[in-house]
Amino acid sequence: MDIIESWFEQAKKLDSGESLFLECHSKADARSMLRKFKHIRSEYEKINPILTSTIELHTTFKDKKFWLVITKLSASPLVGFKKDMNGNLIKITLENDIDRERRIKLMIVDGMNLEEIKQNVHDLTNEEIELYFK
């Protein structure tokens, strides 16, 4: 694992709103690091698109130094709001498909039958039933 990958691993562990500032030698170095981080992020997006959508990357010049800034955004792409007719906002949370699939597979490994899984996983689709139970 190279240094960029190591810093990306640290970035994944950031709490919402936290940032990492990596000092760069020059503007060209900052741009080069930015490209490398974007490449790693795009590769990791295949594994966990939800997490990668919360990692923001940019460069800045502060205190006479160039920096690569990695920020963990506080907004989740799985949370949205619907405005009802009275103007009230209603929170809507999408389920992460990766977590859902993993939960279903673990319930099957644990020996749960279809009816037990339906009680725990609401709105089990016909496609999921065919995939896991036929």
Tens digit of pLDDT at every position of the chain (134 positions): 689 899 999 998 888 889 999 999 999 999 999 999 999 999 988 888 878 888 999 999 999 999 999 999 876 666 778 889 999 988 877 766 667 777 888 888 999 888 888 887 767 778 788 888 77
- pLDDT at residue 125, rounded to an integer: 77
Of 30, 57, 72, the residue at which a domain comes to its end is 72
Residues 20 and 66 in one domain: yes
As a whole number of angstroms, the distance between CA 20 and CA 26 comes to 18
Identify how many contiguous H helices and E strands the chain contains and give both numbers.
6, 5
Contact 66/24 with Cβ under 8 angstroms?
yes
Q: Is residue 111 part of a domain?
A: yes
**Dist. CA 30–CA 3, nearest whole Å:** 14
Separation between Cα atoms, residue 50 and residue 36, nearest integer Å: 20
Whether residue 79 lies inside any domain: the answer is no
Q: Against a cut of 0.85, is the pTM above it?
A: no
Reduce the DSSP state of residue 53 to 3 states and report it.
coil
